[in-house]
């Protein structure tokens, strides 16, 4: 897979196909989006919202969740706001998300099948504050998106003038509906 990508990349650069993507690091729509990493959204999400290269800061993870108030999502948002001029944050979850009803017990069983030992699990328990809770998904995407929006809104390091919205996308049609 990487080999194919390298070959493609060589040709891409040679043909100067990068020219249509040229922009700078400042998001022209002054917006940051936290979205799910779901493969159905990779091209669909920017296409359905009319976004082109350079328009937004796009932060992705499993489920579009802020799992920790001082984790990497908030870190990225703080950089986006203070260094890159972001004034609006959209949290975009989607229907049929893999994080919905994720079963941490089953996941831990799969870890065991991949050679992870109980000692490794126990060590991670301390670092995560309980691995089962850390791995857990959510029951309801509306609640998950609102929960993330609330964490961002209430965050002491996020300025109050930042507009924060929660949306849910249909992963087939790209249609969005607003939650918060
Ligand atoms: Zn998802």
pLDDT of 136? 83
pLDDT of 127? 83
Rounded CA-CA distance 33/36 in Å is: 10
Rounded CA-CA distance 113/130 in Å is: 20
Distance 14 CA to ligand 1 centre (A): 35
Distance 21 CA to ligand 1 centre (A): 27
pLDDT of 114? 97
The count of other CB atoms within 10 Å of the CB of residue 33 is 26
Span 61-101, pLDDT tens digits: 999 999 889 999 999 999 999 999 999 999 999 999 999 98
* Displacement of CA 142 from its chain's centroid (Å): 16
Q: Is residue 41 located within the same domain as residue 87?
A: yes
Q: Is residue 111 located within the same domain as residue 170?
A: no
Q: Is residue 124 located within the same domain as residue 150?
A: no
Which positions of the chain have pLDDT values less than 70?
180
Q: Is residue 179 located within the same domain as residue 92?
A: yes
Structural domain contains residue 17: no
Rounded CA-CA distance 148/74 in Å is: 10
pLDDT of 119? 92
CATH code, domain carrying 161: 3.40.1050.10
**pTM as predicted:** 0.94
Domain that holds residue 127: 103-136
Q: Is residue 88 located within the same domain as residue 129?
A: no
Q: Is residue 88 located within the same domain as residue 130?
A: no
Q: Is residue 39 located within the same domain as residue 112?
A: no
């Amino acid at each position: 897979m990487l080999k194919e990508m390298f070959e493609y990349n060589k040709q891409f650069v040679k043909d100067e196909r990068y020219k249509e993507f040229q922009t700078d690091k400042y998001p022209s729509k002054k917006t940051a989006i936290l979205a799910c990493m779901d493969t159905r959204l990779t091209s669909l999400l920017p296409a359905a919202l009319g976004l082109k290269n350079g328009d937004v800061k796009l932060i992705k993870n499993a489920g579009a969740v802020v799992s920790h108030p001082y984790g990497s999502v908030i870190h990225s948002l703080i950089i986006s706001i203070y260094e890159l001029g972001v004034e609006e944050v959209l949290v975009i979850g989607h229907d049929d998300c893999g994080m919905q009803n994720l079963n941490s017990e089953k996941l831990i069983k799969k870890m065991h099948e991949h050679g992870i030992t109980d000692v490794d699990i126990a060590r991670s328990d301390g670092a995560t504050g309980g691995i089962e809770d850390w791995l857990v998904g959510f029951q309801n995407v509306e609640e998950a998106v609102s929960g993330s929006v609330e964490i961002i809104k209430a965050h002491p390091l996020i300025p109050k003038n930042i507009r924060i919205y929660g949306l849910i996308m249909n992963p087939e049609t790209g249609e969005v509906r607003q939650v918060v």
